[in-house]
Structure 1
Amino acid sequence: MTLTSSDPTVHSAYRYGALALLLAAGAIAIALGYQHLGGLEPCELCLKQRYAYYAGVPLLFLALVSLSAGQTRVAALLFGLVALGFLGNAGLGVYHAGVEWKFWEGPTACSGAQQITANAGNMLDALKQTNVVRCDDAAWRFIGLSFAGWNVLASLFIAFLGARAASETVHPR
């Protein structure tokens, strides 16, 4: 499906939305690649941060299709929902990065002191059953930022692009 409108503002909204889609799909592909190809298992908070991408990618696609079909209100609504979702995801990323830097406590299921059994006979069984990836220990950093930190930046940028696409759809400049 191609964008047939000659209106340059629609093209501008489409470009912002398409860039948001490309970045969101690329970010989740990188995360899944590190997990499945690189063996870097995600923690509980990492998995929760993926929800915005799992929802955002198809919503952005639908928004672009709606925009191409001339359904500007639907497209603007979808772009706006994506922007809000990624803004919330950036907040979750800040929380996760703060847990990694020990600014505050994380979820008890994946950070802080882990429960150790007092019974030595049960210890081996407990170790075999426990596969918890810690939320308060960044497994990877690039230029000082963990995946959580990079997710904050990516989510804020995708939120900006989604908001800009919604704005360009409703109020062309």
Structure 2
Amino acid sequence: MSTPTSTRQHATAVALLAAAAPLAALASERFLGMAPCALCLWQRWPYWAAAVLAALAATLRSRPLLLLAGIAVLASGAIAGLHVGVEQGWWPSPLPSCAAPTAGAGQSVDDLLRGLAARPAKPCDAAAYLVPGLPVSMAAMNLLYALALGAVALNWSRRGAR
């Protein structure tokens, strides 16, 4: 049976681990020079929501909030799954910002320059690899991480609900 103390500890762990994912992605940008694509950025928002929900769950000793945090982490996993499919060419990205700019028939250079995004964006189908030689993209690593953390959070939220 779950005690309020274990709920607090579990929720604190989920909050820290949920915040670690987008912070690690930011570190890969800042220190390794990796550029994120639009789907990469979208994967971070559910983690921030999960971190806030888990922090609230720790403060209030609330298993339902921990459950919601786990669901938020799994939402990031769902976006990561979509992203892996885009990287593998299984389906196109639903985001227009994921496509690399292309020249249309009859477009001038000025038209192309005006059509570029305000800041450079990486196409979503160009996989980013954190470990050279390891054929697991950052999106695939996020998918695995989100599935594991989401499962742990859901399991911890159920403890004591018997």
Q: TM-score, normalised by structure 2?
A: 0.82
How many equivalent pairs are there? 158
Q: Is the 8 A contact 1:21 1:61 kept in 2?
A: yes
Deviating more after overlay: 152-161 vs 44-53: 152-161
**What CA distance in whole angstroms lies between the structure 2 residues aligned with 1:8 and 1:82?**
17
What letter is aligned with 1:167?
R
Q: Is the 8 A contact 2:101 2:116 kept in 1?
A: no
Q: 2:101 aligns with which of 101, 114, 118?
A: 114
TM-align CA RMSD: 2.5
CA-to-aligned-CA distance 1:120-152 (integer Å, 9 cap, x gap): 442673486562310000122433211111111
Q: Is the 8 A contact 1:19 1:161 kept in 2?
A: no
Q: Is the 8 A contact 2:36 2:121 kept in 1?
A: no
Matching residue of 1:14: 8
Q: 2:18 aligns with which of 24, 49, 55?
A: 24
Within 5 Å, which residues of 2 pair with 1:23-172? 23-67=17-61, 75-107=62-94, 109-112=96-99, 114-117=101-104, 118-122=106-110, 125-126=113-114, 131-142=120-131, 143-171=134-162
In structure 1, list runs of 5 or more residues that go unmatched: 1-6, 68-74
Q: TM-score, normalised by structure 1?
A: 0.77
In structure 2, list runs of 5 or more residues that go unmatched: none
State the secondary structure of the residue aligned to 2:32. coil
Q: What's the offset of the Cα at 1:119?
A: 3.5
State the secondary structure of the residue aligned to 1:99. helix
CA distance 1:32–1:129, change in 2 (3 Å): closer
**What CA distance in whole angstroms lies between the structure 1 residues aligned with 2:94 and 2:10?**
35
More RCO (CA 8 Å, sep 6+): 1
**Percentage identity across paired residues of the two chains:** 27
